[in-house]
Structure 1
Amino acid sequence: MSPKWSVHVFVILIVVLLCTSVNSQLQVGFYRNSCSSAELIVKDEVRKSVLKDKGVAAGLVRMHFHDCFVRGCDASVLIDSTSSNTAEKDSPVNNPSLRGFEVIDNAKAALESVCKGIVSCADIVAFAARDSVEISGGLGYDVPSGRRDGRISLASEALTNLPPPTFTVNQLTQSFANKGFTQEEMVTLSGAHTIGRSHCTSFSNRLYNFSGTMSQDPSLNPMYAAQLKQQCPQDGTNPNLVVPMNPGSPSIADTGYYIDILRNRGLFTSDQTLLSDPATASQVNQNAKTPKLWKTNFAAAMVKMGQIGVLTASAGEIRANCRVVN
């Protein structure tokens, strides 16, 4: 192990320890005595699903983000809508783009068969996101656990808490600051877009309807824009069309996302806008050049994200079915 890499590992260990101390009710190895195979069972389900469809990994990372930014990491994103309530998963920001629910269902069923009523759905989501990062080539990290599940899920709260792909750098900075993140952590977590895909509807305004005077976003690489127009026709007759977020390596957690931004190939406005501010542009450059540093920082930021607004002790519940409150 090189001295430089040793420093990176040391840094992430320190950050993890600091994050763990922030919420001492969460702890690494929480299920060590009550369900010792919990994390292995989740990892097995994630691995099986990613073998069938590599894109599921990105879906599970995004699911954790969309869960934590709305009501905290309480698995509220998993709850199904009812006749009297439209839940988060059916908000326009989540449906139809959010995926991986069946992976959580399978993991929960497997856990219930060996450790009935022990492992929360919120912890399963956090474990699955970590496993997805690691399987995709990112750094594995310890997940402090002991979260409990929430009982409320409102589509309206997803709309007001999740940053849309049209946000500017200032709007992104504020959105993440509202959840306790620095601007640097925002840029680091934006790197999750290195894997996965996007529906054409999330960025088609940059191709065809950018402003009153320009149909195409001038900050978008012209050759890339032409390629996207072939994949996403203007007629919009098929709302299910998708393209990879990072075409060069869509299933590998690398720094290709930042390299794309430097080439004006950021897919969303919220990606390309990172070049519009000197501080965030400097970080994009740094991440593009130092993949190991980004992976280290990303792992630490994921640990921190997993502790937003958690329910512990007697708060919330342990759902028997992740889609339905007890």
Structure 2
Amino acid sequence: MAATTMHSAIGSVQAHRAQISSSSQNGMGSFSVKMVSKCFGIDMRLLGRGNYCSRGLKLGGVHASTSSIADSVQAPSNSKTTDSQKKSNETALILIRHGESLWNEKNLFTGCVDVPLTKKGVEEAIEAGKRISNIPVDMIYTSALIRAQMTAMLAMTQHRRKKVPIIMHNESEQAKTWSQMYSEETQNQSIPVVTAWQLNERMYGELQGLNKQETADKFGKEKVHEWRRSYDIPPPNGESLEMCAERAVAYFKEHIEPQLVNGKHVMIAAHGNSLRSIIMYLDKLTSQEVISLELSTGIPMLYIFKEGKFIRRGSPVAPSEASVYAYTRTLAQYRQKLDEMVN
């Protein structure tokens, strides 16, 4: 079902920027974004709430077990990890745009307005969870908005590891104290969920709450298209994609990337523009390439972080898992261990 909702997505890798030396250094090769209408294939060769838009909460440290992809699947009684465990040389990064929201359904500019999912959005989130059910997740990051948090929680109900996602409340000492767990076994069977306003959708300013078609009729299609799709031109009293990227990428580099370096497998549930910003960083897109990038609701993307490089493994193209991701050897080992636990 989720695949049929995909309007367009990142396409195949193409070598169009011949004179960019950094592309060969990052091991991925040069590429440009190619739009497709229904699905796209995988490059097998690479096989807390508050004023969300203006300020953030100081996040305390979150500790998740450090383990390799294959070693992170253990029976509950053996799930304790130690500091001497070997860090993984390969970690998974999953990106999911939230499922359809009530304002998506009404064709309204949403931005930083906190709107929940529709029934279809709930189904998209559950379907996304099925597609990543065999991929390890040690930590989850979401925006401060409920539609992203709902998507993350619903997706994890489908994961075969059956760990419980728990939102970390670090907004005050009292909040941290009141939400503390006192069972080590329970903590080992939990996944910390960190919410951050920096991962919020682009703030659309005076467009928020307006119907997109009516706004185009009032201001003209070209002007509204410029507000929505240009890189550095913001809507009235809102954020441009460039401004959104400044906060989202800075947060990713400061808080999320170090978790991947330390061997943790991370899922990010966020929004079209905050995720586009992060993908721009991961795939080294230009400002012209990123404005052509569309992400459909509820469609997970998988990256592998290895030796300091991000390698895109693909997105779903069919309901069967075999068509979802080109698994690495360690991901395949992880799934095998999951199968052994069940059997």
TM tier relative to shorter chain: under 0.3
TM-score (normalised: structure 1) = 0.25
Structure with higher helix content: 1
Q: Normalized per residue, which structure has more strand?
A: 2
TM-score under structure 2 length normalisation:
0.24
